[in-house]
Amino acid sequence: MDEAKKDGLLEQWKKLADKDFSAAKQLATSNNLLLSVFHLQQYYHNLSLLAREADLILELGPTFSDILDNLNPYYIKARYPTYTKQLEEELDKDEVDKLIKMTEDFVLWLNQKMK
């Protein structure tokens, strides 16, 4: 893939990821925690694809993997009514706010790397 096409693809992944992160923050503010972490998981998933394409995957480190491991169950289970009540009870605002803060820090790092 030529560089211009690759750069365009990376920008598309980043825009898609940014939309998920924006939605996660808005949903957390309105106390819709389950959908907030669902969008956080989607954000990290998209970023992992972006990082792979940008040759940054090895630089992500254990923090990224730990966060994604914690968020992955919300991607699948949040889509099924039999799990939503249990998941909503497990989540608290402080935990979601902490994940959002960690994500904001990660966004700063990623933006620096992508320059």
pLDDT score, position 93: 92
pLDDT score, position 62: 66
Domain that holds residue 98: 3-114
How many Cβ atoms from other residues are within 10 Å of residue 36's Cβ? Answer: 25
pTM of the model: 0.79
* H-assigned helices in 30-80: 33-53, 61-77
Question: What is the Cβ-side half-sphere exposure of residue 2, based on CA atoms within 13 angstroms?
Answer: 2
Cα 35 to Cα 30: distance, rounded to the nearest angstrom = 11
pLDDT score, position 94: 93
Of 99, 103, 7, give the one whose Cα is nearest residue 53. 7
pLDDT score, position 1: 60
Which helix (H) or strand (E) segment holds residue 26: the answer is helix 3-29
Q: How many domains does the chain have?
A: 1
Of 113, 108, 105, 96, give the one whose Cα is nearest residue 41. 96
pLDDT, tens only, 36-95: 998 998 888 887 777 777 777 667 766 777 777 777 777 776 677 777 788 888 888 998
Residues composing the chain = 115
Q: Any idea what the CATH number is for the domain that residue 59 is in?
A: 1.20.120
Cα of first residue to Cα of last residue in the chain, in angstroms, is 20
Q: Is the pLDDT of residue 21 over 90?
A: yes
